[in-house]
Structure 1
Amino acid sequence: MLTHVVLMKFTDPADAAEAKELLEGLVPGVPQIQKLTVGVDVVRAAVSWDLVLLTEHADLEGLKGYQEHPSHLEVAGWLRPRLASRATVDF
């Protein structure tokens, strides 16, 4: 099992809600996603990120398949210009 964690900070934090919907919409069409959770920050502290994405995959190949899937690439294309910063951890 491989867990993929992504923290996102948006140029406009209001974009986090739409990002959540787009990311959750990946589940039915991307078979490499075993589990997906998206959370939008509610505290809004100075050290907070706007959104967290957690996905689970069978293995590294599953993660790569997810990352290369056309649906994921489409959502990533929407996200990239709206992000101020991003951090990831895979374990």
Structure 2
Amino acid sequence: MLTHVVLMRFTDPADAPEARRRLEQLAPLVGEIRSMAVGLDVLGTPVSYHLSMITSHEGPDELAAYQRHPEHLELARWLRPRLADRAVVDSVTDASGR
């Protein structure tokens, strides 16, 4: 499985709850998303991001298909102008958990 982690910092932190709502609505529309968890930051420290999203995919090809999906592209058009910063980590876990 491929785990896709995205951290988002918004120019206006008030956009984070709407982004969460839109992301959660996206999951059932895109078959290449095997699972999704979206969380909002609760501490608001100087190094905090406002939102985290973790999705799982069968592999890199499925992640790429998700990223090209029309529903994802529409959401990205809404998100990008609102982001101050974003960080991404994609990791693969083998059957042994490594």
TM-score normalised by length of structure 1: 0.98
Q: Residue 51 of structure 1 aligns to which amino acid in structure 2? A: L
Alignment: residue pair count: 91
The Cα shift of 1:86 comes to 0.4
Hey, what's the Cα distance between the residues in 1 that align with 2:28 and 2:84? 28
The Cα shift of 1:68 comes to 0.3
The Cα shift of 1:84 comes to 0.3
What's the RMSD between the two structures over aligned residues? 0.4
Q: Gapped runs of 5+ residues in structure 2?
A: 92-98
Paired position in structure 2 for 1:88: 88
Hey, what's the Cα distance between the residues in 2 that align with 1:28 and 1:83? 24
Paired position in structure 2 for 1:40: 40
Over residues 1-23 of structure 1, what are the superposed CA-to-partner deviations in whole Å (9 max), with x where a residue is unaligned? 00000000000001000000000
Paired position in structure 1 for 2:59: 59
What secondary structure does 1:32 align onto? coil
The Cα shift of 1:59 comes to 0.6
The Cα shift of 1:27 comes to 1.3
Paired position in structure 2 for 1:23: 23
1:13 equivalenced with 2:36 (yes/no): no
TM-score normalised by length of structure 2: 0.92
Over residues 35-82 of structure 1, what are the superposed CA-to-partner deviations in whole Å (9 max), with x where a residue is unaligned? 000000010000100000100000111100100000000111100000
Hey, what's the Cα distance between the residues in 2 that align with 1:64 and 1:81? 22
Q: Residue 57 of structure 2 aligns to which amino acid in structure 1? A: H
Larger Rg: 2
What secondary structure does 2:13 align onto? coil
Q: Gapped runs of 5+ residues in structure 1?
A: none
What secondary structure does 1:25 align onto? helix
Hey, what's the Cα distance between the residues in 2 that align with 1:20 and 1:79? 11
